[in-house]
Amino acid sequence: MNGNPNRPINRIAIVRPSALGDVCRTVPVLVSLRRAFPQAAIDWIVQDSFVDAVRAHPDLNSVIPFARRHFSRVWRSLPVAREWLAWSKSLRTAGYDAVYDLQGLARSGLITWQTRAPRRVGFADAREAGYLGYTHRHKIPAAMHTVDRMLALIQADGVPAIRDMRLYVADDAMQWWTHMRDTRGLKDRPYAVLAPTSRWSSKRWPADRFAQLANHLLESGFERIALVGGKDERSQIEPLLELARSNDHILNLVGQTTVGGLMAVIAGASLVIANDSAALHMAVGFERRYLALFGPTNVSLVGPYRGEQWVIQPPVDPSTLNHKDASIGSTIMERITVAQVIERLNQRLAAPAEIPQ
């Protein structure tokens, strides 16, 4: 590690509050830090709604929830302002020796600065002036997969990289899913997971095509299909929900899972087919077979880690790769046909689930 080599590192914090998929694929940093500092206490500052993504990881000592939505009212509510100050004070008094900001935004930079750790590490080009919160800034090329870029950051700080993507399910979440499987007819039956929703319309494959794919899966030997998604996303996939209402082999879990519950569902699946979403990155972390459907997103930067061969993406002009551009809509995703997905599905089922190395 650069800096004062004589200063012991007894307590470390990882700052990666969001988004859910990014939190899931930050775990190699945790594993790397644990191997480098086996006796240190390692905490993870993460958005409160995403705590389940990492709380069961054996290399983590504790999770520090960041109530992003609640604290967004800090300027409008005196009680919230007091809570924010108390939370910030808890970071300062925790006694961190080193803090790593893997997000690189103003919010995460501020959190990093609030720890007052003597060693605060982040990207030199952190956006929104997030770099102002660091004592040590490393120049890391932007044209790298996000996992490799995060690992390059800690490598630049003297920590060897370990590419261990494995995720872990908390006991209570696994118990919930075991009960659900027993009561909803799955038990030990093999099942596929479909994750057809997305916050961004440009990332959504048409729901009626997902419905056609669901029928194909049932006809091809999968005894059950689990549909997953957020409770506010039901309107995106009405054709699929209609199919689920008429077919008891399709289990509708949309809006019914916590983050931990979603992880448990994916951990037990034989196959996951997803848009560019957190469910996809969970499938990677649980070493499940998957197919990923991508639109105007740069797969080399944010696709499934070392699994681009199982991404289906129409030919796209790199200059149009902006999933937040509302004018794109679902036009790129609509170029993916059901026949294409079925063809790749057959190839996927014939191949083993890879473990990213």
Question: Looking at the predicted structure, is the pLDDT value of residue 52 above 70?
Answer: yes
Taking residues 321-338, report their average pLDDT.
Answer: 91
Instruction: Tell me: do 26 and 141 sit in the same domain.
Output: yes
Looking at the domain assignment, is residue 166 inside a domain?
Answer: no
Q: What percent of the chain is predicted at pLDDT more than 90?
A: 90
Look at residue 323 and give its three-state secondary structure.
Answer: coil
Same domain, 151 and 175: no
The answer to the question of residue 176 being in a domain is yes
Count, residues in the chain = 357
Name the helix (H) or strand (E) containing 274: strand 271-275
**Average pLDDT estimate for 284-301:** 96
* Residue 276 located in a structural domain: yes
- Alpha-carbon Rg for the chain, nearest whole angstrom, is 21
176 and 140 within one domain: no
Over residues 4-33, the mean pLDDT reads 91
Residues 79 and 137 in one domain: yes
Cα torsion for 310, 313, 315, 316, to the nearest 10°? -130
The answer, yes or no, to whether residue 273 has pLDDT greater than 50, is yes
119 shares a domain with 79: yes
In this structure, is residue 313 part of a structural domain? yes
Environment class of 323 (CB within 10 Å of its CB; exposed 0-12, middle 13-18, buried 19+): buried
Q: How far is CA 187 from the centre of its chain?
A: 27
Q: Which of 156, 183, 218 is the last residue of a domain?
A: 156
**Same-domain status, 274 and 133:** no
Pairwise CA distance, residues 163 & 77, whole Å: 43
Residue 150 pLDDT exceeds 70:
yes
Classify residue 3: in a domain, yes or no.
no
In a domain, 29, yes or no: yes
In this structure, are residues 153 and 123 in contact, taking their beta carbons and an 8 Å threshold?
Answer: yes
End residue of a domain, out of 156, 182, 210: 156
The pLDDT value recorded for residue 327 is: 85
- How far is residue 348's CA from residue 122's CA, in Å, rounded to a whole number? 38
Beta strands in 7-111 (DSSP E): 11-15, 41-47, 62-66, 98-101
Question: Is there a single domain that holds both residue 175 and residue 93?
Answer: no
pLDDT of 3: 40
Beta bridge partners of 88: none
| pLDDT for res 2 | 47
**Tens of pLDDT along 113-127?**
999 999 999 999 999
In a domain, 30, yes or no: yes
Q: What is the distance between the alpha carbons of residues 105 and 5, in angstroms, rounded to a whole number?
A: 28
27 vs 327, more confident: 27
CATH number at residue 97: 3.40.50.2000
Pairing of strands 136-138, 62-66: unpaired
Q: Let me know whether 152 and 184 are in one domain.
A: no
Nearest CA-CA partner of 275 in 221, 209, 225: 209
Q: What is the pLDDT of residue 58?
A: 98
Range of the domain at 304: 171-350
Q: For the chain, give the mean pLDDT.
A: 95
- Report the C-alpha gap between 243 and 246 in whole angstroms: 5
Q: Which residue has the tokens 């990923």?
A: 292
Query: 156, 181, 197 — which closes off a domain?
Result: 156
Q: Are residues 132 and 262 in the same domain?
A: no
Same domain, 22 and 83: yes
How far is it, in rounded angstroms, from Cα 345 to Cα 97?
48
Give the number of domains in the chain: 2
Contact 153, 121 (CB under 8 A): yes
Both 71 and 186 in one domain: the answer is no
The answer on 135 and 26 residing in a single domain is yes
Q: Which two tokens stand for residue 55?
A: 């709380």
